[in-house]
């Protein structure tokens, strides 16, 4: 499951602030992480979300962390969705093993 960012509207501001604090231009960061400048600009403007590898490279290039730049997964978004009357994959696996999962 894809985790939702804590504050999607703050991601571009955090990314831009970190880049500016590093003294680098968008072009410099883009070159350092191996993408074109337009792609990096889209990460800052939230028109594009970087994959995990690019997010790590951006964080390293800016001397930061992925969590700080892009937010952390919220607990309610990391669980499997429950469909009415059906077991989640985890529940089904536990059922097959004969164990009951507490609610």
Q: Rounded to an integer, what distance in angstroms lies between the CA atom of residue 87 and that of residue 41?
A: 42
Position 46 pLDDT exceeds 90: no
**What's the gap between Cα 102 and its chain centre?**
30
Residue 2: predicted pLDDT: 39
Residue 32: predicted pLDDT: 97
**Full-model pTM:** 0.62
Position 18 pLDDT exceeds 80: yes
Q: Rounded to an integer, what distance in angstroms lies between the CA atom of residue 68 and that of residue 46?
A: 16
What pLDDT digit, counting tens, does each position of 49-102 carry?
899 999 999 999 999 999 988 887 555 555 555 556 666 666 666 656 665 555
Residue 33: predicted pLDDT: 97
């Amino acid at each position: 499951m894809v985790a939702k960012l804590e504050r999607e509207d703050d991601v571009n501001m955090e990314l831009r602030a970190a880049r500016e604090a590093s003294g680098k231009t968008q072009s410099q960061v883009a070159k350092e992480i191996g993408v074109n400048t337009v792609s990096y600009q889209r990460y800052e403007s939230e028109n594009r979300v970087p994959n995990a590898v690019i997010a790590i490279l951006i964080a390293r290039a800016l001397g930061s962390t992925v969590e700080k730049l892009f937010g952390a997964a919220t607990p309610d978004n990391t669980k499997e969705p429950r469909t009415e009357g059906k077991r989640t994959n985890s529940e089904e696996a536990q059922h097959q093993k004969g164990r009951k999962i507490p609610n």
